[in-house]
Structure 1
Amino acid sequence: MLQANEHDETKQRLLDAAGEAFAAKGYHRATIREICSRAGANVASVNYHFGGKKGLYKALLEHCHQESLRRHPPGSLQAQAGPEEALRVFVRSMLDRNLGEGRPTWLSRLMARELSDPSPALENVARASILPNVDRLAAIVARIMDLPGDSPLARRCALSVVGQCLHFCRSKPVIEIVCPGVTYDSQGLDEITNHIVRFSLAALRGLAQEGTA
Structure 2
Amino acid sequence: MIRQLAFDLPTRQGYRREDFFVSPANAVALAAVDDWRNWPGGKLMLVGPPGSGKTHIARLWAAETGATCLPASDLATADLPALAAAGAVAVEDAQTIAGQPAAEAALFHLHNLVTPGGRLLVTAASPPRDWGLTLPDLASRLQAAPVARIEPPDDALLSAVLIKLFADRQVTVPPTLIAYLVQRMERSIDAARDLVARLDALALAAGRPITRQLAADLLGRAD
Q: What is the TM-score with the length of structure 1 in the denominator?
A: 0.25
Identify the structure with the greater helix proportion: 1
